[in-house]
Amino acid sequence: MSTVTIPRLPAGRTLRLGGSRIVNEVRGYFRQGDSVFFTFLFPLVMLAIFSTAFSNQSFGTDDSGAAVSAAAYYLPGMLAAGLLLSGLQNLAVDIANERSDGTLKRLAGTPLPVVSYFIGKIGQVLVTGIAQAALLLLVASVVFGVALPDEPGKWATFAWVFVLGVTTSAVLGIALSRVPRSGKSATAVVIPIVLVLQFISGVYLGFNQLPEWLQNVASIFPLKWLAQGMRAVFLPANYESEEPGGAWNLDGVLVATSLWLVVGLVVCRLTFRWIRKDS
Amino acid sequence: MTNPDSAVSVRDLRKTYGKFTALDGVSFDIHRGETFALLGPNGAGKSTTIEILEGYRDRTSGDVHVLGVDPGTGSLDWKAQLGIVLQSTGESGAVTVREQLAHFAGFYPNPRDVDEVIAAVGLEAKASTLIRKLSGGQRRRVDVALGIIGSPTLLFLDEPTTGFDPESRRQFWQLITSLKNEGTTILLTTHYLDEAAHLGDRAGIIAGGTLIDIGTIDAIGGADARVPLVRWVDGGVQREARTAEPSTLVAQLVRDNGGAELDALEVVRPSLEDIYLRLVAEYETAVAK
């Protein structure tokens, strides 16, 4: 038998290294100009453009008859788009690049647990997603004068839609990162998916303006549900009648998003490898 | 049977990709504390071998043990004993040299001191520079630093000095020599035969997926390969002769020349490079037949 003894690593390092990965990931994220612009600031830029360009258009009135501004109308959609960009777009492109440029191969040769790596990625998405949402809310409220809800129940809804949404989006991004064959093709594969979803899910175009068949197609994907959850939080109560079925349908948001989370987790478990072993 | 006392033990290792045979029955051992140079032309199977040992590739057949463990099923405990310097990397490098090393040091149970490692690879002046702003040779030194940060028992160096200037290469040799003196086992691949001769204790030469020779650096290729070569020019014609007694031959030539100096006289002891080139050429001629 072998005379070589390999010392055991101490227990409990998975979480500690996960924390260390989060710091490393967040630092790297904010030092990449393209990720800061196309992922972090993009919903803010779109909100600013839409709020300014459509400032003279009517987006309806609330229960008391006060006009709803363009900024107030678009805020929920941009928050939902932020979830998709910070999670799915960010991680799908980021991990495809890391697979392509040798980062994953290098990590695979170290005693870093895979779970710590994922804690780092999802932690990065949480940190940057929270900062992004905070910035969107701040700008909407301070610059564009959007009145934010004051009922704690609305904020509780926001909290669970946000956390469930950003986690699902992150997990789906990890799953999607397997699809591009190289880092160079990653944005070409990922951006069209993200863009089409945003157009059909009520981010840029009012969901009630889409034909019913397109609404049905969009309902297969999670972004439609996240945008709907955000509208339930930020739009006046009388807008509920314009939703499909005339209801915010938060149960539907919970079920559809959770299903996508489970699908994403299963796909990650089955397909994630540090490297393509025999390429 | 693999040898459990060896740091690396390989028996009849085969690797095929479809119909292509990359490795066709390779066997060798690397003893503990030894520096072993794996040499061979591009495409001979060096990187395939080293990547199987590192656990990056699956093998088709054969027995492989690295620190007593089958690399196909190596655990994190096992990986903590290894240092790996891959052949090429192109990471985005949005962290500084010191940040990257401090981060990786945290992965290992007994890491080296970050600043000592930065000094050992000669990057003190660049410690706070983003890795993406370094030159190719400087980035390569970061790769080497990441390979040794965890105080590995076994260090894999796959063409570590590609892109180094001569001064950096000498500095790197000193670093590797100090690691050897601390007892680190090293597997080195390189295209610089002087590097292999300077650092290696033993070498294996791989060509066409088979090991064509293996031995200590001063014995590989056999005694005949080391017979000195005397070259001179006689009446405008290049002449050469192999002899174990070059001084005697030169004295004889001078006498024959009426005591006058010989033109362009050289006495050459075949270097590892000469021996390597001859072995590979012989192999290729044999395969062609």
C-alpha B32 chain-centroid distance: 16
Q: Among residues B216, B249, B280, which one ends one of the domains?
A: B216
Kindly state whether A17 is in contact with chain B, defined as any CB-CB distance less than 8 angstroms: yes
> Coil, helix or strand for B237?
strand
Q: Residue A276's pLDDT is what?
A: 60
Say if residue B60 is in the same domain as residue B154. yes
A31/B5 Cβ within 8 A: no
Say if residue B25 is in the same domain as residue B86. yes
pLDDT tens column, A110-151: 999 999 999 999 999 999 999 999 999 999 999 998 989 989
What is the domain range of residue A229? 13-271
Say if residue B74 is in the same domain as residue B212. yes
Cα separation of A53 and A59, whole Å?
Answer: 13
Residue A111 domain flag: yes
**Chains A–B, number of C-beta pairs less than 8 Å apart:** 102
Q: Quote the number of domains for chain B.
A: 2
Cα separation of A174 and A186, whole Å?
Answer: 12
289 residues of chain B, pLDDT tens digit each: 788 789 999 999 999 998 999 999 999 999 999 999 999 998 889 999 999 999 999 999 999 999 999 998 889 999 999 999 988 777 778 899 999 999 999 999 999 999 999 999 999 999 999 999 998 888 999 999 999 999 999 999 999 988 788 888 898 999 999 999 999 999 999 989 999 999 999 999 999 999 999 999 888 888 878 888 899 998 889 888 889 899 999 999 999 888 888 888 999 888 888 889 989 998 988 888 7
- Using 50, 70 and 90 to split pLDDT, how confident is the model at A214? very high
Q: Can you give chain A as a three-state secondary structure string? A: CCCCCCCCCCCCHHHHHHHHHHHHHHHHHHHCHHHHHHHHHHHHHHHHHHHHHCCCCCCCECCCCCECCHHHHHHHHHHHHHHHHHHHHHHHHHHHHHHHHCHHHHHHCCCCCHHHHHHHHHHHHHHHHHHHHHHHHHHHHHCCCCCCCCCHHHHHHHHHHHHHHHHHHHHHHHHHCCCCCCHHHHHHHHHHHHHHHHHHCCCCCCHHHCCHHHHHHHCCCHHHHHHHHHHHHHCCHHHHHHCHHHCCCHHHHHHHHHHHHHHHHHHHHHHCCCCCCCC
What is the domain range of residue B244? 224-288
Least confident of A225-234, A238-247, B210-219: A238-247
Residue A178 domain flag: yes
Contact B185, B148 (CB under 8 A): no
Residue B59 domain flag: yes
Say if residue B139 is in the same domain as residue B229. no
Q: Residue A277's pLDDT is what?
A: 58
pLDDT tens column, B192-231: 999 999 999 999 999 999 999 999 988 888 887 888 889 9
Using CB atoms, which residue from B54, B88, B94 is nearest to A109? B54
Kindly state whether A279 is in contact with chain B, defined as any CB-CB distance less than 8 angstroms: no
This model of the complex carries an ipTM of 0.88
CA distance A159 to chain B (A): 32
Residue A8 domain flag: no
Task: Collect all residues of chain B within an 8 Å Cβ-Cβ radius of residue A106.
Answer: 84, 86, 89, 91, 146
Cα separation of A114 and B142, whole Å?
Answer: 23
Strand partners, B213: B205
Say if residue B257 is in the same domain as residue B194. no
Is the C-alpha dihedral spanning B280, B282, B285, B286 positive or negative? negative
Q: Among residues B216, B248, B278, which one ends one of the domains?
A: B216
- Mean pLDDT, range A100-107, rounded to an integer: 91
| Sheet architecture: strand order including B154-158 | B82-85, B154-158, B185-189, B35-39, B202-207, B210-216
* Rounded (5°) CA angle B264-B267-B272: 125
Residue A279 domain flag: no
Task: Collect all residues of chain A within an 8 Å Cβ-Cβ radius of residue B88.
Answer: 102
* Tokens found for residue A187: 């944005």
Say if residue B91 is in the same domain as residue B50. yes
Task: Kindly report the pTM of this predicted structure.
Answer: 0.89
Say if residue B191 is in the same domain as residue B254. no
Residue B2 domain flag: no
Say if residue B273 is in the same domain as residue B184. no
Chain length of chain B: 289
Using CB atoms, which residue from A32, A106, A278 is nearest to B86? A106
Residue A277 domain flag: no
CATH code where residue B148 lies: 3.40.50.300
Kindly state whether A4 is in contact with chain B, defined as any CB-CB distance less than 8 angstroms: yes
* Tokens found for residue B213: 């020779």
Residue B279 domain flag: yes
Kindly state whether B250 is in contact with chain A, defined as any CB-CB distance less than 8 angstroms: no
Say if residue B184 is in the same domain as residue B255. no
Give Cα separations from B284 to A128, B69, B207 (angstroms): 58, 35, 8
CB contact burial B174-210 (16+ within 10 A = b; e otherwise): ebbeebbeeebbbbbbbebbebbbbbbbbbbbbbbbb
- Nearest C-alpha in B relative to A110: B79
CA distance B57 to chain A (A): 5
Q: What is the CA radius of gyration of chain A?
A: 21
Say if residue B157 is in the same domain as residue B78. yes
Contact B177, B199 (CB under 8 A): yes
Residue A7 domain flag: no
Task: Collect all residues of chain B within an 8 Å Cβ-Cβ radius of residue A103.
Answer: 91-92
A278/B68 Cβ within 8 A: no
Task: Collect all residues of chain A within an 8 Å Cβ-Cβ radius of residue B99.
Answer: 24, 27
- Phi–psi pair at A220, nearest 5 degrees: -70, -30
Contact A97, B92 (CB under 8 A): yes
Task: Collect all residues of chain A within an 8 Å Cβ-Cβ radius of residue B9.
Answer: none
Identify the residue with better confidence: A86 or B91: A86
- Mean pLDDT, range A215-221, rounded to an integer: 91
B150/A20 Cβ within 8 A: no
Q: Residue B91's pLDDT is what?
A: 77
Amino acid type, B197: A
Q: Can you give B75-124 as a three-state secondary structure string? A: CHHHHCCEEEECCCCCCCCCCEHHHHHHHHHCCCCCCCCHHHHHHHCCCH
Say if residue B133 is in the same domain as residue B238. no
- Around B235, how many Cα atoms within 13 Å sit in the side-chain half-sphere? 1
Say if residue B248 is in the same domain as residue B119. no
CA distance A20 to chain B (A): 7
DSSP assignment, residue B262? P
* Tokens found for residue B288: 């062609």
Cα separation of A119 and A125, whole Å?
Answer: 10
Q: Quote the number of domains for chain A.
A: 1
B108/A109 Cβ within 8 A: no
> Coil, helix or strand for B56?
coil
Pick the closest to residue B54 from A105, A100, A97 (CA basis): A105
Task: Collect all residues of chain B within an 8 Å Cβ-Cβ radius of residue A4.
Answer: 4-5, 67-69
Q: Among residues B187, B216, B245, which one ends one of the domains?
A: B216
Cα separation of B152 and B188, whole Å?
Answer: 14
Residue B144 domain flag: yes
On the question of pLDDT at A279 being above 60, the answer is: no
Cα separation of B141 and B164, whole Å?
Answer: 9
Contact A244, A216 (CB under 8 A): no
> Where do we find the tokens 């570590």?
B160
B107/A110 Cβ within 8 A: yes
Residue A56 domain flag: yes
- Whole-angstrom distance between the N-terminal and C-terminal Cα of chain A? 34
Count CB neighbours of A152 within 10 A.
8
Residue A120 domain flag: yes
